[in-house]
Amino acid sequence: MIIHRRRANATGLQATTLKSIKALAPLLDRVLVQRAKAEAKTAGGIFLPETAVKELNEAKVLAVGPGALDRDGKRIPMGVSAGDKVLIPQFGGSPIKVGEDEFSIFRDHE
């Protein structure tokens, strides 16, 4: 699937496409994560309706930025790295959708 973003320029609208989430590189202290999917089936084998399945606050870190700069211009190291499992707030972050997959970008301190 392809996602289109449109931005205005002097010549009109220009479309940019994002074919893969790997094309995104977070900047500064941003962290790109994908939420863990909740199980739609109980341990006993009963399938749950979509309305009963809650969104989990657990996510996998896919990519991290290089870190923010302090007042002296020194890079502040990131607290997480790609591949880490983290707990994220239920609300917040910037959602990104690529095809059927959903991702979020958070700041490192969130």
| pTM for this predicted structure | 0.66
Q: Is 30 helix (H, G, I), strand (E, B) or coil?
A: strand
Domains and CATH numbers, the chain: 21-107 (2.30.33.40)
pLDDT, tens digit (0-9, with 9 covering 90-100), for 41-78: 666 777 666 665 567 778 889 888 888 888 998 888 88
Counts of helices then strands in the chain (DSSP H, E): 0, 7
Say whether 57 sits in a helix, a strand or coil.
Answer: coil
Distance from CA of residue 60 to its chain's centroid? 9
Higher-confidence residue: 77 or 2?
77
Pairing of strands 94-98, 3-9: unpaired
Question: How far, in Å, CA of 76 to CA of 104, rounded?
Answer: 22
